[in-house]
Amino acid sequence: MTAQAETTRVQGPSGFIELNGQMLVVDYGKIYLDGSPVGFLFEDGMLKDTSGPFGSTSGLKPIDEIPGCIFRGIDATGLELELPGAVPGPTGTMKYNGVPLTVVMGRVSTQDHRLVGSFDDEGNLFLRDTVKRAPRRKLDETTQLTTIFQGTKSSGAPWNHEFVRPLYKKDKPYSDNEILRYFENFDGLTAAQKRYVIESLKLWASCGLLQIVRKSEGTAALGNVKHGAAGATGVRTGYVTLDREEFEKEIGYAKRFGMLATVATTIKPYYEVRLNLVVAHEYGHQLEFILSQATQDRIADLFGQRLSRSERLFPLPQAYEGTSELLPQEKIFERVFISGYARQSKFEYWAECVAAFSVKESREALKRIDPEIHEILRELVLSPDKMVRAVFVDTIADLQASLRVGNEFSDDLLDS
Ligand SMILES: [Zn+2]
C-alpha cells in the first residue's frame, strides 16, 4: 500500500450514525450533528474528541460504550461497514505473524485504527479484504498465520489464546518458515547457501504461492541428479531434486558473476547469457503445474513468438549442437530470451523467466527484454486468483488477505 492510500484509509468511514432517534452524518470520519462537528469516528469503531450527544471526551472511546449507537456506511475504500458489528467478542492485544494489533470487542485493528477483521470468543479470525473486496474471509489452519492473543473474552473472563501453524517455528515469520518447510534440510546448509535459497524464494513465500506449490506439488531437496543437469523436477511427483555439486557450483557463479552472467562459448565469437538461479528455476517448473490452462496458453503463445524471432535474428551457428540462444557479445542487449537456455522449450522458457523474476536485479532485466512475460508474472504475484487453476483460487485469495495483515505481502512487494 502506498503512503497516500494509507492516509486515505485512516481518514475514516462515511455514512450515518443512529443515536437515540437522531441521525448524524459521518463524512470521512468527521461526525456532524445539524452541520456542527461533534467528533471523529475511526473505521475500527473508536471515537475521538467527542462532544454533544456522545458526551465530552478528548481521548478515544469505543462506540460500544455509547448505548444504542450504530454506524452504517462504508469505509474509506468503499467497502460496506457496520459498527459496532454483529457479535461482541474479546478485547485485548494480538500479535499476528509478529505484527501488533488491537482487539476491541472482537474488532481487530492496526495501531493506526485500520479495521482488519474480527475475532470471536472461540478464536476464529475473519479478515476484511479491502483489496479483493471481501468483507469477511474466514481463516483456517492453511491461511491463518501465527496468532497470539492476550486479554479477556466478551464475558470479561481473562483469556490467552495461541494459534501456531503446524510444524512452524513460533519465533520466525511466515515467509522464513515456508522456505524452511519447502527446502528440505535447510538447517544443514552453509550460511552462504541459506542466503542464496532465501533470496531465491523470498518473493514466492511472501505472496503465498510457495505454500500453494509446496502443498500441491511438493518440496525441494539436495541429491544426485543424473546426466549433469543442475536440477530436475519430477514429472509425476512434482518434487524437485537439486544436484548438490551443481548447486554449490551455481552459488559460486552467482557470487562471482551475479545472478545474470554473460559467458563465452567454445564457438567463436558467440556468447550465452546464463541465469545462476537453479532453485528458483526448478520451483518455476512446479509453479507451472498450478497455473490455469488459459495462463499456460498465454505463456506458450509468447514462447512461440519469441522462438520465431530468435531464429530469424540469431540463427544458431552451424557448428553448435545445442538449442540455447547464442549471440555475438555486442548483441547481448538485443537478445530475445532472458537467458540462452530459455530458448530450449516453452517449459524452460517459463522456468527461466520465473527464476529471473525472483530477484530484483534480473527482474529488471526481464522487464526490459520481455515485458509481456514480466507482466504475466506480475499479475501472478499480485492477483494469483485470476491466474491459477480453479481449485486454488479461494485458498490463495484468503491467504493473500492474511499475508497483507501479517505484513508479508503488499502491492509494492515487487518494488523492493
Ligand atoms: Zn528446467
Distance 275 CA to ligand 1 centre (A): 12
pLDDT tens digits, one per residue of 305-363: 999 999 999 999 999 999 999 999 999 999 999 999 999 999 999 999 999 999 999 99
Question: For 244-252, what is the mean pLDDT?
Answer: 86
* Residue 383: how many other CB atoms lie within 10 Å: 15
Task: Give the Cα separation of 167 and 186 in Å (integer).
Answer: 14
Highest mean pLDDT among 77-91, 253-267, 366-380: 366-380
What residue ranges of the chain are covered by domains with CATH 3.40.390?
A: 174-382
- Residue with cell string 514429472: 235
Query: What stretch of H or E contains 280?
Result: helix 278-289
How far does residue 241's CA lie from ligand 1's centre (Å)?
11
Ligand 1 mean position to 352 CA, how many Å? 7
Say if domain 174-382 classifies as CATH 3.40.390: yes
CA distance 368 to 362: 10
Nearest residue to 381 (alpha-carbon basis) of 366, 323, 15: 366
- Give me ligand 1 centre to Cα 405, in Å: 35
Give the pLDDT confidence of 173-221 residue by residue, as tens digits.
999 999 999 999 899 999 999 999 999 999 999 999 999 999 988 888 8
Q: Is-contact 45 62, C-beta < 8 A?
A: yes
pLDDT of amino acid 384: 97
**What type of residue is 61?**
K
Q: Name 32's Cβ contacts closer than 8 Å, sequence gap at least 6.
A: 24, 25, 26, 38
- Residue 348 alpha carbon to ligand 1 centre in Å: 5
- Rounded to the nearest angstrom, the distance between the alpha carbon of 414 and the centre of ligand 1 is 24
| All cell numbers assigned to 161 | 489464546
Q: How far is CA 8 from CA 42, 43, 101, 140, 392, in A?
A: 12, 12, 20, 30, 32
> What are the backbone angles phi and psi of residue 86, rounded to the nearest 5°?
-70, -50
DSSP notation for 149-214: EEEE-TTS-EEEEEE--TT--TTS-HHHHHHHHHBTTGGGS-HHHHHHHHHHHHHHHHTSHHHHHH
Ligand 1 centroid to residue 230 C-alpha, Å: 9
Cα–ligand 1 centroid distance for 280 (angstroms): 10
Could you tell me the distance, in angstroms and rounded to a whole number, from the CA of residue 299 to the centre of ligand 1?
15
Instruction: Please answer whether residues 67 and 137 qualify as being in contact, where contact means their C-beta atoms are separated by less than 8 angstroms.
Output: no
CA of 207 relative to ligand 1 center, distance in Å? 22
Q: What is the CA(281)–ligand 1 centre distance, in A? A: 6
Q: CB–CB of 284/299 below 8 Å?
A: no
